[in-house]
Amino acid sequence: MRRALAIDEASFGPNHPDVARDLSNLGALLQETNRPTEAESLKRRALAIDEANFGPDHPHVARTLSNLAQLLQKTNRLAEAEPLMRRAISILEISVGPDHPNVAVCLSNLAALLRDTNRLAEAEPLARRALVIVEANFGPNHPNVAIRLGNLAGLLKDTNRLTEAEPLMRRALDICEASLGPDHPYVATSLNNLAQLLKATSRLVEAEPMFRRALAIAEASFGRDHPTVARDLNNLAVLLLDTNRLAEAEPLMRRALAIDEASFGLDHPNVASHLNTLATLLQITNRLSESEPLMRRALAIDEASLGPDHPDVAIRLNNLAQSLQSTNRVFEAEPLMRRALAIDEASLGPNHPRVGIDLNNLASLLQVTNRLEEAEPLLRRTVTIFLTFERATGHAHPTRTTFIANYVGLLSALGRDAVAIDTAIADARREAGLG
């Protein structure tokens, strides 16, 4: 890619559209291999070239805007990414029409960003419109339709509408199998999506053969050492972990980790994810001296790769804090939990479910250290967040009942009687707008 870029710059000059294309391609590779700073400079240069050559409202400009926006989204600069995505949509709607397939791609990208920032009610109509566009352009049984079905189903899953999501996922799988054959990588993606839903609804026996089939497809399609194989190994290993088959899960986790270390290097976010999963297993099997260094390494990788304020960093902080708490180092754990909470509030907004989980974790630690009065407003806010989620989406979050039970238990420990507890829950419902 660098050679192609050098040839085109020498042949056509540094500001030719072909140079912009080469810059975009190289930028995509650098992004994939965890070099976002280098990638961004190339993508911004490609955008400047396209704007100079074609004007600010050309479809080529929309493409380079979209590419840059996706990198910004990946590096947690969502406020910078969103206007670029919206500008790309506006350009395409005017230049190629509102029902063009490229519009559907950009709508899907924006919906994914809105999903990341917990604006699910805004994301859903975009995902549905993208699906309508590709169905109209390609027919109901095209692989592009399967992709949009998967995106919409994921959004429905996030809002706990699992019974609505499942038929979309099954339809996406059927489309891919019929149009591409039973052993295509898109089939593996659809199998993984459906298996994750089945797992979320405790149908682990149904999910496991889908995870295994997805893994077999990936190995046959890409070879045994491809990052997609690592993803599928991890999915299967987590199911085995959930079903207490730890001896089966561990070698899969270690193999997934080795693949991504070889593919991306030791400091890639994918490696951090695998380290975290393996550390969880080690913690469960009481190998705490082995698990903690992995958690700390995962945290260091994500801080270096994604920045200190990325939501993935908050996940790593919470996991390490939970480990510290389990080994009675609660005063080391507390600042990590508070930092994770601050990151998620800033990145995702104060009413995101992840913030509710952070609050619940911190409240649990405060209870362990007998600071019940400090814990109460945190758990009350947790309950309000999940009730607000219910009002906004029309569906209860899967963890809502657990967190309400935690709050009731805390109020009881504080000596509140049944009337006072009922009043507190009613107050939280009113605060969430549920009456």
Q: Could you give the angle at which helices 101-116 and 143-158 cross, rounded to 10 degrees?
A: 20
The b/e string for 337-350 (b: 16+ C-beta within 10 A; e otherwise) is bebbbebbbebbee
Taking residues 55-68, report their average pLDDT: 95
Cβ–Cβ < 8 Å for 360, 379:
yes
Confidence band for 159, pLDDT divided at 50, 70 and 90: confident
Helix (H) or strand (E) holding 114: helix 101-116
CATH no. for 349-435: 1.25.40.10
Show me where the domains of the chain are located.
Answer: 1-97, 265-325, 349-435
State the chain's mean pLDDT as an integer.
93
* CA 93/CA 104 separation, integer angstroms: 10
Would you say the C-alpha torsion 342, 343, 344, 349 has a positive or negative sign? positive
* CA 145/CA 151 separation, integer angstroms: 10
Domains 265-325 and 349-435 share a fold: yes
Residue 161 has pLDDT above 90, yes or no: no
Burial of 149 (0-12, 13-18, 19+ CB in 10 A): buried
* CA 215/CA 220 separation, integer angstroms: 9
Token pair, residue 235, equals: 């999915």
Architecture of domain 265-325: Alpha Horseshoe (1.25)
CA-CA distances (angstroms) from residue 281 to 204, 237, 270?
18, 10, 17
Cβ–Cβ < 8 Å for 408, 421:
yes
pLDDT digits (tens, 9 = 90+) for 70-113: 999 888 788 899 999 999 999 999 999 999 999 999 999 999 99
Read off the DSSP letter of residue 58.
S
pLDDT digits (tens, 9 = 90+) for 241-277: 999 999 999 999 999 999 999 988 898 889 999 999 9
Confidence band for 425, pLDDT divided at 50, 70 and 90: very high
Rg (CA), the chain: 23
Architecture of domain 1-97: Alpha Horseshoe (1.25)
Residue 34 has pLDDT above 80, yes or no: no
Name 399's Cβ contacts closer than 8 Å, sequence gap at least 6.
353, 356, 357, 386
Angle at 42 between CA 36 and CA 47, to 5 degrees: 120
Nearest of 134, 136, 73 to residue 109 by alpha carbon: 73
Confidence band for 393, pLDDT divided at 50, 70 and 90: confident
Residue 303 has pLDDT above 90, yes or no: yes
Confidence band for 167, pLDDT divided at 50, 70 and 90: very high
Burial of 304 (0-12, 13-18, 19+ CB in 10 A): middle
Name 123's Cβ contacts closer than 8 Å, sequence gap at least 6.
110, 111, 112, 114, 115, 155
What's the pTM value of the predicted model, to 2 decimals? 0.83
